[in-house]
Amino acid sequence: MEHTLKTRAGRSTVRVGFLGGQGEIGKNCSFIEHDGQIIVIDCGLTFPEEDAFGIDIVLPDLSFLVERARDVRGVFITHGHEDHIGAVPYLLREMSVRIHATPLVLGLLKPKIEEMKVRNYQVDPVRPGRSLEVGPFEVVPFRVNHSIADSVGYVVKTPLGPIVHTGDFKFDQTPVDGEVTDYQTLADFGREGVLALLMDSTNAERTGFTPSERVVGQHLRQIFWNRPGRILVTTFASNVHRIQQVFDAARSVGRKVGVVGRSMSDTVEIASELGYLHIPPETFVDIDDLKRLPDDRVVLLTTGSQGEPMSALARIANGDHRKVEIRSGDTVVLAATPVPGNETLVARTVDMLFRQGADVIYEPTSGVHVSGHASQEELKMMLNMVRPKFFVPVHGEWRHMVRNGQLARDVGILDEDIYIVENGSVLEFSRERGRLAGKVHSGQVLVDGLGVGDVGSVVLRDRRQLAQDGIVLVSVAVNPDSGEVVSGPEVISRGFVFARESEELISEARKRTKQTIVDLCADGRKDWPALKTKVRQTLSALFQERTKRRPIVIPVILEVPPSEAGRPSGGPSAGSSGGDGSGRH
């Protein structure tokens, strides 16, 4: 039975909890607790659904960590993708905690943290294979391959046995940087005995093995050789290995590369300074200098692989980028696949690029993108190397985690030792048994501009209703003594109906509003809140009956003192028609 967790983990048990990333792509954040002390693994964000109007990003609810701030010994980051690091600056605004991550991750995090005006924060660069003591834990980072350089998983050694968190991973036998997964460390811990394995579930539905990142470089060279015009390549700004291969392919065919988009420029600068990108100076040029080169010697590396409306590629596709415009003969290469939920945005961008005259290479079979996540055979290989007592699928939608659990069952892990859990769940392990120990507070925090958490479900529901059915504002001036309507009702519609084409409906709304006021004020009662509620209900019923739509109805009752009742009102009179077509009546 699930219940709210109120006790702390003692010395005889270890707890593993999840604040995000379970049953969803993004917001990855988990914690391990022993003897009342906690370490956190990853602290990411996700991006909103299309119907989350005005929302910029979505964070996990971190209130549990903030409440237990004295017990949190450190945050360990597996790699530099936004769904694993994006919430770190927001956490640091609420509490002081040391961030442990590889140098590239810290380089990507620094401007994000400083942009949030967090000044006094502590970081600790981690190196694969170099263990460190944190509270009652010994944490051992180990190298993994992923779609961003400097990715690691963590072995967290506890007095009850090691817990392995893979982070996002795949087994790439020919990685671009030559750094293969640390099989030796995983196998060694597997032989000694692993208490629990937390493993990436993203590609658990895909059979076979995920191809090597080097495959992309081979296809890029072929495209760069065979296309006569300019080539625009878009990929995730964080995919340093993909960026390296774009520069390598361009150099091999004598093309020059210019970078478009702030996040891509920042990544190229940071990764180059830290030694993760090796770019020949003669290959990298300013985009203004590219204009002086023949089209067949130009490559533009840009952001916007997910169709983000304000990204460089989307603005280029729409023809409103100030420095780059599509020409006939251009080739655009989408070296990425849409994140679930972004398919429509990507399709829209592709369509606009074709309209502008470009040839777009975006098909999954084109070879210009490979996943950074392990497929089924690699997942089974990880399970067989680690041989955990308990298994917990992480990082994936529910179907991904269920399929990952099935893979664990296939390699011999018992059903009762496989835990598929949702956000907020806390698992408790002893040496012999595991159980669902209860729940901690979890959920999502919506970020809208500078507001963090001030947009809740009610506001979001209103925004959706406004987008779907619009709004109707009804204002009327009433004598507070007699209840007589002095001016109005005036009806203003936005996003509901066009005034000139709906004269009869607007007129009926005014009529029913006036009659409602007369009826409620007939007995001398002046209950304005009740009057507003009744007007809202009356008009909502009318609009539903006539249009099958339910706009937001906002009544405004103005009290006009008897001494002013005979004077002309400052606003439009009850008979004004709003002939400007603005919807005013």
**What secondary structure does DSSP assign to 524-576, as a single string?**
S---HHHHHHHHHHHHHHHHHHHHS---EEEEEEEE--GGGTTSPPSS--TT-
Paired strand residues for 583: none
10 Å CB burial of residue 288 (0-12, 13-18, 19+) is exposed
As a whole number of angstroms, the distance between CA 492 and CA 477 comes to 15
For residue 201, the Cα-to-chain-centroid distance in whole angstroms is 17
Q: Are residues 418 and 434 in contact, defined by beta-carbon separation less than 8 angstroms?
A: no
Distance (Å, rounded) from C-alpha 83 to C-alpha 542? 46
Q: Which amino acid belongs to residue 286?
A: D
Q: Which residues pair with 143 in a beta bridge?
A: 152
- Do residues 302 and 261 make contact, with C-beta atoms less than 8 angstroms apart? yes
Q: Can you tell me the distance from the alpha carbon of 65 to that of 20, in angstroms, rounded to the nearest whole number? A: 13
Strand partners, 528: none
**Cβ within 8 Å of residue 103, ≥6 positions away:** 125, 150, 274
Task: With beta carbons less than 8 A apart as the criterion, state whether 26 and 46 touch.
Answer: yes
- Structure tokens given for 476: 């009327």
Query: Which residue shows structure tokens 């006036």?
Result: 514
What are phi and psi for residue 423, nearest 5 degrees? -60, 140
CB count, 10 Å around CB of 266?
15
d(CA 513, CA 516): 5
H-state helical runs in 227-360: 240-252, 262-273, 287-290, 312-317, 343-355
Is 200 tagged catalytic? Answer: yes
Which of 79, 241, 373, 395 is catalytic? The answer is 373
Among candidate residues 150, 200, 330, 469, the one labeled active-site is 200
515-529 burial string, b = 16+ CB within 10 Å, else e? ebbeebbeeeebeee
Q: What does each C-alpha distance from 453 to 18, 58, 59, 447 come to in angstroms?
A: 20, 9, 9, 6
Secondary structure (DSSP) of 57-73: EEEE--HHHHHTGGGEE
Q: Rounded to whole angstroms, how far apart are CA atoms 583 and 502? A: 9
What is the Cα 35 distance to its own chain's centre? Answer: 33
How far is it, in rounded angstroms, from Cα 526 to Cα 529?
A: 9
Q: Which uninterrupted H or E stretch holds 152?
A: strand 152-158
CA dihedral of 524, 529, 533, 535, whole degrees rounded to 10: 50
Residue 527 is among the residues annotated as catalytic for this protein: no
Query: What positions carry a catalytic annotation?
Result: 200, 373
